[in-house]
A and B are shown apart, each in its own frame.
Chain A
Amino acid sequence: MQCVFLMIWKVPPEASTIDIANSCFPNLQFYEIIMQRLSFDFPASTVNLAKIGELAAHAGQKAGFSNVNIGDIQVAIDEACTNTIIHGLEKDSTRMFQLIIQWDAGKIEILIHETGVSFDPESIGLPDIEAPLEDRSAGGLGIYLVRKLMDEVKYSTDEDGVKTLYMLKRVK
């Protein structure tokens, strides 16, 4: 014989998640962290880079970053999206990638999901930034900037072939 228990929590309409958590676990202190999130589907075209830069600046301001760090976030998101558009999706504007920008007071997270050409960022050699002009390579600067300007950068691919670039920067 099978028994099914149905548990119903009756909550006053004005109770917040924090109130509920505090009443259930009186020995613990819960804090509310409000994370804002923007999600967009963009076609693989560099035409949208300026718009993406504006979105990053808006989120960076809301998260409390300085103007210098907002500039850094704009460079990182531009480089990451450019790589996705040019290398991952081969500038085919009929294909889309998903850009998620989420932030709270203290950090910003940027995720790019796409199903394009496989890419191993570790295979890109870092540029020799001390080299004189005649010996400088023009490649590899984009990934170098992303790694330099953000606090965390991770690449992953799930079993369905969806590739994700995750970047995080904390307000200091």
Chain B
Amino acid sequence: MNITETTQDNVSRVELEGRFDANTCGTVEQFIREKIKEGMLQFVLNMEKVPFIASAGLRVVLVFARELQMNKGNLCLANLQPNVLRVFEISGLKNAMRIFDDMESAARSFND
């Protein structure tokens, strides 16, 4: 899993590249945990280059989305591939999470 990040207007834009499974979820978890420790509260995960997600990946986004929401922060997802979106849908997380078609819509949602 490759992770690249840029920060703009206090929003951390995290681009993930690779499978998001039990083998790679720890890398993402550690990265976001570090950013939260640095004081970051708003995240958009760009999932454009994530071809596969398993429940281990769902668990990471669910835990951080819930934790950030309780601390007046936010975690959004953008650019999900159809099969990845399907896993969110079957798990009932499509409606529970903030999911956007593209990065700009996701970033704009923080101003609403």
Q: Do A and B bind each other?
A: yes
Footprint of B on A, CB under 8 Å?
A: 46-47, 49-50, 53, 67-68, 71-72, 74-75, 78-79, 82, 85-86, 127-134, 136, 138-139, 141-142, 144-145, 148-149
If over half of B's interface residues share one DSSP class (helix, strand or loop), that class is named, otherwise mixed; here it is helix
Q: How many Cβ-Cβ contacts under 8 Å join chain A to chain B?
A: 80
A33–B87 alpha-carbon span in the complex (Å): 33
If over half of A's interface residues share one DSSP class (helix, strand or loop), that class is named, otherwise mixed; here it is helix
Check B36 for interface membership: any CB of A closer than 8 A: no
Interface string of B56-67 (1 = CB under 8 A from A): 101100110110
Task: Name 26 A/B residue pairs within 8 A (Cβ), A-sorted.
Answer: A46-B22, A46-B23, A49-B21, A49-B23, A50-B21, A53-B52, A68-B83, A68-B86, A75-B87, A78-B52, A82-B54, A82-B56, A128-B92, A131-B92, A131-B96, A133-B65, A136-B62, A136-B92, A136-B93, A138-B59, A141-B58, A142-B54, A144-B91, A145-B87, A145-B91, A148-B90
**Chain A residue contacts of B91, Cβ below 8 A:** 127, 129, 141, 144-145
Check B28 for interface membership: any CB of A closer than 8 A: no
Partner of B54, one of A78, A127, A128: A78
A92 to chain B, nearest CB (A): 15
Task: Please report which residues of chain B, range 22-80, place their CB below 8 angstroms from some CB of chain A when the two chains form the complex.
Answer: 22-23, 52, 54-56, 58-59, 62-63, 65-66, 69-70
- Would A145 and B92 count as touching, CB distance under 8 A? no
A75–B97 alpha-carbon span in the complex (Å): 20
**Chain A residue contacts of B69, Cβ below 8 A:** 133-134
Query: Quick one: closest B residue to A134, CB to CB?
Result: B66
**Chain B residue contacts of A149, Cβ below 8 A:** 90
Query: Quick one: closest A residue to B25, CB to CB?
Result: A46
- Would A50 and B23 count as touching, CB distance under 8 A? yes
**Chain A residue contacts of B21, Cβ below 8 A:** 46, 49-50, 78, 82
- Would A142 and B55 count as touching, CB distance under 8 A? yes
- Would A47 and B23 count as touching, CB distance under 8 A? yes
